[in-house]
Chains A and B, each alone.
Chain A
Amino acid sequence: MSIAITTQIICFTILSLIILIGALGVVLLESIVYSAFLLGGVFMSVAGLYLLLNASFVAAAQVLVYVGAVNVLIIFAIMLVNKKEDLKPINDIKSRRIISTSICLTLLSLLIRVDLTNVWSLSSPQNSIGEESTIRIGEHLFSDYLLPFEVASVLLLMAMIGAIVLARRDVMNKDISTGLPVDQALIEKSSEPLLSNKN
C-alpha cells in the first residue's frame, strides 16, 4: 500500500468520524449555539470529502456557500435573538419518541438497502478530471444544465426581492403583521441623522 493511499484512508476515516459525530451533536445537543457551530464543522468535513474526491472547486464552493454564508447567517440569527427560553413540556412525549424512532429506523433500513443493491463504482474513468473540473462545471452549467441553472437564479432573485420588501416596510402603506396603516413619518425619522437639527 503506497503512502498516498494510506493518507487518503486516514483522512477519510477522520472526516467521516467528524461528520457522524458532528451531525449527531447537531441533533442531540441541548444548546442551539453548539448545534449551529457543529453544523459548520460538519459542512467543513463534507468539503474535505469533496477534496478527497478530487473535486476541489466543489469543495471550495461548499466552504464558501455553506460555511461562509448559510452557517454564518444561522449563527447570526441565533445570536441576534438569543432568548433564554425554556421549551414547553410536551404531554405525550413518549408516544412521539416511539413514532419518530420507528420512522427513522425505517428510513435507515431503506438507505441500507439502497447502499447494498446499487452499484456504486463508475464504469468509465471519468473521475480523474482533477484541475480541469472548474471548466467542466462551467460547460455543463451553460449547456445541458442551463434550465435548472436559470431557474435557480430566478428563485434567488425572488428571495432577494422578498427580503428587500420585508426589510423596507416604507414601500408599503400597510404593516404586514398587524394590517394597520404605516406611520410614514416614523420611518423617515429613523433614517435622519441624529444631530442634524441642533444648531
Chain B
Amino acid sequence: MEYGLDLEYSFNEFLKGFGLSSEIAHIIWLPLPMLLVLVAAVVGVLVTVWLERKISAAAQQRIGPEYAGALGVLQPIADGLKLLVKEDIIPAKADGILFTAGPILVLVPVILSWLIVPFGQNLLISNVGIGIFLWIALSSIQPIGLLMSGYASNNKYSLLGGLRAAAQSISYEIPLALSVLAIVLMTNSLSTIDIVNQQSGAGILSWNIWRQPVGFIVFWICALAECERLPFDLPEAEEELVAGYQTEYAGMKFALFYLGSYINLILSALLVSILYLGGWGFPIPVELIAKFLNLPVNAPLIQVFTASIGIAMTVLKAYLLVFIAILLRWTTPRVRIDQLLDLGWKFLLPISLANLLITAGLKLAFPQFFGG
C-alpha cells in the first residue's frame, strides 16, 4: 500500500468507532462505491448526450438545445424523463422473454466493467488482479445481447443489425486485445492501478502514448468500432437498416440501449486515458510540484487536493476523447461493411501483431524505457 487516500479504511474505522464489527462495516461500505460509480456513469451519460447535441449543432451550424435550462443543459434529463414515461411496447409477434433480456445483457457488462476504472490510487471499486482482462472478457458478452434483441424483434432489419453488431465486435475485439497486451507486457501487470503507476514517473513524458503510438491509434479505432460510433455504426445504419437491432424497441428498453452505448463510449474514453494518457496523472507530477513548494506529500490536506486533481485529470482526459469521438461522428461518412472488415482483419490485426512483437523486442533491448 502506497500513499494516497484510503477511504475504505477510514470509513471502516469510523464505523468501528460506533461499536460495529468489521464485517458489518464492510457490508455497509460495499454498496457505496458501486452506487457512486453508477451515479457517475449516468451523470457522465447526461453530460455526453448534451455535448453530442451541442457539438453536432455547432458542426452543422445550428444552435441545438436552447430553452431547457441555460444552454439547454437540462435537455438530456428531459429526454430521459420522456423515455421513462413512454409506453413499453413488445411487438405482437416478437419473442417476449428474449426481447426483454436483450437490452439488459447489453447494459450490464458495460456497467460491470466500471469495476476496474481507477480515478486515483485507491479510488476504484476493486483492484482485481485480472484488471483490464476483466473488461476484455466482459465486453465480449455484449454481442450476445445484441444478437438476442435482433432475433427476438422478429424483424429483418433488427436481425441484420444484430448480426452486423456481433460480426463487428468479434473482429475488432482481437486487435483491441492485442494492443492492450502490448501495454500489459510493458507494465508486467494486468491491474489498471499498476498500469497508471508505471506511467507516472516523469509526468507527460512517461505516458504510454509516446511508447505505444501505434497501439494507441489501433486501440482508439477498435474502441470506436466496439462502441458502434459513426465511422463504424453499421449495426444501426439508418439509411439501410432503419435503426438496426433497436428498430422495434421503445420506452425504457430503448433507453437501456441508449444508456449502454453512451456508458460504453465514456468507459472506452476512460480506458484510453488510463492505458495511454497516464490515467489520473497530472502532466507535471504532483509530487514534484509539492516538493517544489516545500509541501509534505503525505499531509491529509495535500492528499485530498491531489486526489481531486487526479479525478479532474481522469475526467478531463476522458472527455477530451469523447469530444474527438463526437467530432468524428458528425464529420466523417460511414464505412461500408466490406471496408470495415478489411480494416479490421487485413490492417489492424497485422499492425497490432507487429506492434506486440516490436514491444516485446524493445522491452528486452531497452528495459529501462519499456518496463523491465
Interface, chain A (partner B; CB < 8 A): 2-4, 33, 37, 40, 44, 56-57, 60-61, 63-64, 67-69, 71-72, 75-76, 79-80, 130-134
Contact = CB atoms under 8 A, between A and B. Distances in A.
B217 interface: no
6 contacts: A57-B129, A57-B130, A60-B133, A64-B136, A75-B147, A79-B151
Nearest to A71: B144
Contacts, number: 72
B45 interface: no
Contacts of B150: 79
Contacts of B133: 57, 60, 64
Interface of B: 23, 27, 98, 128-130, 133-134, 136-138, 140-141, 143-144, 147-148, 150-151, 159, 162-163, 166-167, 170, 173, 190
Given A79-B163, A80-B163, A68 B129 contact: no
B151 A72 contact: no
Nearest to A44: B141
Nearest to B101: A37
Nearest to B143: A72
Nearest to A33: B151
A37 B130 contact: no
Nearest to B23: A3
A79 B151 CA distance: 8
B129 A69 contact: no
A22 to B, nearest CB: 13
A76 B166 contact: yes
B159 A60 contact: no
Contact of B140 (A63, A80, A132, A133): A63
A134 B166 contact: no
A3 B173 contact: no
B98 A76 contact: no
A72 B166 contact: yes
Contacts of A44: 141
Given A72-B147, A76-B166, 4 more contacts: A60-B133, A60-B137, A63-B137, A79-B159
A40 B143 CA distance: 12
Nearest to B26: A3
A68 B143 contact: yes
Contacts of B137: 60-61, 63-64, 68
Contact of A37 (B136, B138, B144, B163): B144
Contacts of A4: 23
Contact of A134 (B129, B141, B167, B170): B129
Contacts of B128: 56, 131
Contacts of B173: 68
Contact of B134 (A37, A60, A130): A60
A131 B193 CA distance: 14
A76 B163 contact: yes
A69 B147 contact: no
| Closest 6 pairs between A and B when the two form their complex, measured CB to CB | A68-B140, A131-B129, A60-B137, A64-B137, A63-B137, A56-B130
